[in-house]
Amino acid sequence: MSAKSVDYANIAFDLIDEFDRSFRPEQVVGCMSTALGRFGFSSFLVVDVPEITSNARPVFLLNGWPPAWAEHYQGHNYYKDDPVAARCRRSVDPFEWSEATYDAEKCPRAAEVMDAGRQFGLHDGFVVPIDRHTGTMSGVTMAGDRPDFEPRAKRAMHLIGLYAHAKAMSLIGREDISRPASDLTEGEREVLTWTAVGKSSWEISVILNMSEAGVVWRLKQAMSKLGANNKTQAVVNAIVAKQISI
């Protein structure tokens, strides 16, 4: 399928609408799996990624992994040697699995983890790290045979990952986001809404007939109120908090 023929933003926003109509984990897993299939992913996982201790294990919040792989991963205690999990613990920016580098000679178990995943059809993947502002990290990892890493696709996957985590947290009663410390101004909601549909700060400045610096300032104000590390997370947090709608 040609990248130009795929409306990535609509896939993401349609999925958000599906999430809002889903009230059971299996419903969320089902609609997430269907949507990510459009990007070439066959599996996904929403997971807490604790720091390494003697008994550290990931906590699966929403499990869209192949059951045999989840059992194999846990049974072999791969978490402490998983290079993808290691990068997720120290990153705030989304990344491809190929960017989770390691030295196979010094860390043979890291190579074993990645090789084992490929045997279950998890050849490549994409991770959205999530800083929960509680001293812990979570992440959404997606994997498949030949996923689509076109830049617009990755922006949509970032949005999907953040919203999927927020939905997972609400389902298990651990919501991190309710409402911002203070309501967003109308101007902040405007720039976030245009950001959500993929407009750049310059494009928003033209649409709203204001300076680009003014757009950037409003985005920073909204990010601060919403406890977001970046503008994509600010968009998701604003949607979850019912401050904007798409």
- In DSSP notation, 176-220 reads S-SS-SSPPPHHHHHHHHHHHTT--HHHHHHHHTS-HHHHHHHHH
| pLDDT score of 2 | 45
Does residue 30 sit in the same domain as residue 71? Answer: yes
Does residue 110 sit in the same domain as residue 231? Answer: no
Does residue 147 sit in the same domain as residue 232? Answer: no
Does residue 121 sit in the same domain as residue 215? Answer: no
Which residue would you say has higher pLDDT here, 4 or 165? Answer: 165
Domain span at residue 225 reads 186-240
Residue 245 falls inside a structural domain: no
Indicate the residue among 145, 171, 197 that finishes a domain. Answer: 171
Residue 108 in tokens: 């043979």
Residue 180 falls inside a structural domain: no
CA 12 – CA 8 distance, rounded (Å): 6
Residue 176 falls inside a structural domain: no
Does residue 200 sit in the same domain as residue 149? Answer: no
Q: Per residue in 156-187, pLDDT tens? A: 999 999 999 988 888 877 655 545 656 889 99
Residue 204 falls inside a structural domain: yes
**Predicted structure pTM score:** 0.82
State how far the alpha carbon of 106 is from the alpha carbons of 82, 103, 241, in Å: 14, 5, 45
Report CA 76 to chain centroid distance, whole Å. Answer: 26
Residue 178 falls inside a structural domain: no
How far from each other are the two terminal CA atoms of the chain, in whole angstroms?
A: 26
Does residue 117 sit in the same domain as residue 202? Answer: no
Q: Which helix (H) or strand (E) holds 63?
A: strand 59-64
3-state secondary structure of 139: strand
Spatial neighbors of 176 by CB under 8 A, at least 6 apart, are 132, 133, 134, 166, 169
Does residue 128 sit in the same domain as residue 231? Answer: no
Does residue 133 sit in the same domain as residue 197? Answer: no
